[in-house]
């Protein structure tokens, strides 16, 4: 073998080694290619089936951030809301559902999304001693759902949730009124019971309780007043009775 042949063979070996070396470096040191939108969607669904809700949130977030225009992404945003919801993260769930509603207002899943927003807000405010003002927003979503999609399974259930929300709101007011009564603050209790009786007539049991307690509170409140104050209170009480 001549020197020229040996040199050519050596150069060819170096070339082949260099090519294979590049593949070796790429395989072990470069980051792997990103998962496709479909792969992220399927991974998120699988995590949901296995009740691995934190993992599902990660997959759906990656899908939303990396592939905002993928046909899998709308369902991925709903999946993200569901993953938060099942993980008792109701504030994040409501935000995810609201994002979907804003981006896809005519999507077929809108009835379900409106329903889930309402339920998420309700579940977030599940302590009766906390302010329940947010339930007005929940009622708004259930009302839209009831009026716009009355024949959907979600629309048919919306009236029940409106009653639940109003009941929770009334119970919160009763909780405060009872607290005032137990603290011998009869004037404050009377006004709170009156408010419930005036604003929650659609809830018969609560209305009856509030009316009766308002009467008892009024009588106790009268004992604490001067003659002039008693006259003013009687005027308010007569207006209340006429209203009822």
pLDDT band at 125 (very low <50, low <70, confident <90, very high): confident
What's the pTM? 0.80
Q: Which of 127, 211, 217, 236 is CA-nearest to residue 175?
A: 127
- Residue-level pLDDT at 64: 96
For residue 192 the two structure tokens come to 């709170």
Q: What is the DSSP letter of 88?
A: T
Query: Which tens digit of pLDDT belongs to each residue from 113-124?
Result: 999 999 999 999
d(CA 27, CA 32) in angstroms, rounded, equals 8
Q: Residue 182, Cβ neighbours under 10 Å: how many? A: 9
The better pLDDT of the pair 226, 176 is held by 176
């Amino acid at each position: 073998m001549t020197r020229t042949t040996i040199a050519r063979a050596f150069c060819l070996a170096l070339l082949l080694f260099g090519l294979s070396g590049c593949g070796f470096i790429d395989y072990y040191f470069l980051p792997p290619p990103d998962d496709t939108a479909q792969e992220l969607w399927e991974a998120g669904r699988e995590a949901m089936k296995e009740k691995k809700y934190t993992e599902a949130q990660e997959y759906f977030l990656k899908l939303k951030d990396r592939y905002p225009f993928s046909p899998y992404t709308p369902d991925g945003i709903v999946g993200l809301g569901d993953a938060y919801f099942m993980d008792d993260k109701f504030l994040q769930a409501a935000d995810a559902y609201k994002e979907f509603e804003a981006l896809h207002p005519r999507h077929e899943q809108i009835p379900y999304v409106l329903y889930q927003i309402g339920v998420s807000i309700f579940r977030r405010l599940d302590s009766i001693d906390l302010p329940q003002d947010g339930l007005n927003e929940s009622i708004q979503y259930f009302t839209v759902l009831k009026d716009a999609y009355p024949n959907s399974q979600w629309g048919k259930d919306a009236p029940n949730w409106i009653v639940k929300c109003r009941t929770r709101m009334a119970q919160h007011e009763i909780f405060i009124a009872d607290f005032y009564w137990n603290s011998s603050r009869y004037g404050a209790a009377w006004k709170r019971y009156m408010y419930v009786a005036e604003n929650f007539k659609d809830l018969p049991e609560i209305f009856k309780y509030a009316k009766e307690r308002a009467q008892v509170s009024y009588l106790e409140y009268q004992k604490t007043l001067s003659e002039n104050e008693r006259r003013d209170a009687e005027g308010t009480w007569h207006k209340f009775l006429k209203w009822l």
